[in-house]
Amino acid sequence: MSKIRPSKGAPYARIMGVGGYRPVRVVPNEVILETIDSSDEWIRSRSGIATRHWASAEETVAAMSIEASGKAIADAGISAEQIGGVIVSTVSHFKQTPAVATEIADKLGTGKAAAFDISAGCAGFGYGLTLAKGMIVEGSAEYVLVIGVERLSDLTDLQDRATAFLFGDGAGAVVVGPSDEPAIGPTIWGSEGDKSETIKQTVPWTEYDSSGKFPAITQEGQAVFRWAVFEMAKVAQQALDAAGISPDDLDVFIPHQANMRIIDSMVKTLKLPDHVTVARDVETTGNTSAASIPLAMERLLATGQAKSGDTALVIGFGAGLVYAATVVTLP
Average pLDDT, the chain: 95
Q: What is the pLDDT of residues 35-66, one digit of tens each?
A: 999 999 999 999 999 999 999 999 999 999 99
Dist. CA 165–CA 158, nearest whole Å: 8
Find the mean pLDDT for residues 252-259.
97
For residue 183, which of 245, 122, 238, 141 has the smallest C-alpha distance? Answer: 245
Dist. CA 87–CA 257, nearest whole Å: 21
Report how far apart, in Å, the C-alpha atoms of 117 and of each of 171, 202, 303 are.
14, 22, 30
For residue 174, which of 290, 76, 89, 67 has the smallest C-alpha distance? Answer: 76
For residue 17, which of 298, 288, 278 has the smallest C-alpha distance? Answer: 298
Dist. CA 63–CA 147, nearest whole Å: 12
Q: What is the pLDDT of residues 234-253, one digit of tens each?
A: 999 999 999 999 999 999 99
Residue 28: pLDDT band by 50, 70, 90 thresholds?
very high
Residue 206: pLDDT band by 50, 70, 90 thresholds?
confident
Higher pLDDT, 209 or 74: 74
Statement: residue 212 has pLDDT above 70: no
The interaxial angle of helices 232-243 and 260-270, nearest 10 deg, is 50
Statement: residue 201 has pLDDT above 80: no
Dist. CA 318–CA 300, nearest whole Å: 22
For residue 93, which of 54, 129, 63, 128 has the smallest C-alpha distance? Answer: 63
Q: How far is CA 285 from the centre of its chain?
A: 13
For residue 257, which of 275, 227, 284 has the smallest C-alpha distance? Answer: 284
Please return the burial class of 90, using the count of CB atoms within 10 Å of its CB with bins 0-12, 13-18 and 19+.
buried
Statement: residue 202 has pLDDT above 80: no
Q: What is the pLDDT of residues 58-111, one digit of tens each?
A: 999 999 999 999 999 999 999 999 999 999 999 999 988 999 999 999 999 999
Report how far apart, in Å, the C-alpha atoms of 30 and of each of 1, 124, 154, 168 are.
68, 30, 19, 15
The interaxial angle of helices 292-303 and 124-138, nearest 10 deg, is 80
Dist. CA 317–CA 229, nearest whole Å: 11
Q: What percent of the chain has pLDDT over 90?
A: 83
Q: How far is CA 263 from the centre of its chain?
A: 15
Q: What's the whole-model pTM score?
A: 0.95
Statement: residue 211 has pLDDT above 70: no
Alpha-carbon torsion angle 260, 94, 116, 187, nearest 10: 20
Residue 306: pLDDT band by 50, 70, 90 thresholds?
very high
| pLDDT score, position 229 | 85
| pLDDT score, position 274 | 97
Q: What is the pLDDT of residues 129-162, one digit of tens each?
A: 999 999 999 999 999 999 999 999 999 999 999 9
50-54, 144-148, 281-285, 316-320: least confidently modelled range: 316-320
Q: What is the pLDDT of residues 8-27, one digit of tens each?
A: 899 999 999 999 999 999 99
* 249 φ/ψ sector (left φ>0, alpha ψ -120 to 50, else beta): alpha
| pLDDT score, position 209 | 67
List active site positions: 122, 256, 287
